[in-house]
Amino acid sequence: MKREFLLKDLKDTERLAKALSKFVQPGMAFFLKGDLGAGKTQLTKFLAKYLGEDPKNVSSPTFSIIHEYDTTPPMAHIDLYRVGKGADLWELGIEDYLERGFFFVIEWADYLENNDIFENPFTVTIKILGDKKRLVILDFPNDVAEKFSFKDMED
């Protein structure tokens, strides 16, 4: 089920991350899609914050491909930009992360060759509308979509 939200500023992005953090479980994934500068890493920083990591410690793993964070559950932040189209998570060693109960945030998830590793991923597409405004399209698993509401975005 798809839902759209208008984010007017970084505070709205933080609210979205806080609301999404309530649904995080080991073995699940958030597929982040959007152009360069859309806010994928910023959303990840806020998500990490609500899972117990200082957002100052979170950076884009563009060159290292995967960063691990000691959140609850532990988070693997994966950036497939440099890997490019046809990225294979098995070749990146995802099996080890799955066995250790990690939650996954995958930037540039549209580059995935096989995305059937995750049963019900959240897909988060971020579109730039202006200087700070973003349109976020969330594609939820149905059971979560029923529980997520605009109220989750409020303080």
CATH number, domain of 9, equals: 3.40.50.300
Cα 144 to Cα 61: distance, rounded to the nearest angstrom: 28
Cα 40 to Cα 155: distance, rounded to the nearest angstrom: 21
Please give the pLDDT value at position 108: 93
Residue numbers of the domain that contains 107 = 2-144
- Residues in the chain with pLDDT < 70? 115, 142-155
Taken as a whole, the chain contains a residue count of 155
Residues 6+ apart with CB under 8 A from 33: 40, 108, 109, 110, 123, 124, 125, 126
How many structural domains are present in the chain? 1
pLDDT tens by residue, 67-96: 999 999 999 999 998 888 888 888 888 899
Cα 16 to Cα 87: distance, rounded to the nearest angstrom: 27
Please give the pLDDT value at position 113: 78
Please give the pLDDT value at position 68: 95
Instruction: Count CB neighbours of 119 within 10 A.
Output: 9
In a domain, 154, yes or no: no
pTM, whole model, 2 decimals? 0.89
In a domain, 152, yes or no: no
In a domain, 153, yes or no: no
Please give the pLDDT value at position 153: 60
Please give the pLDDT value at position 151: 60
Cβ 140 vs Cβ 13: under 8 Å: no
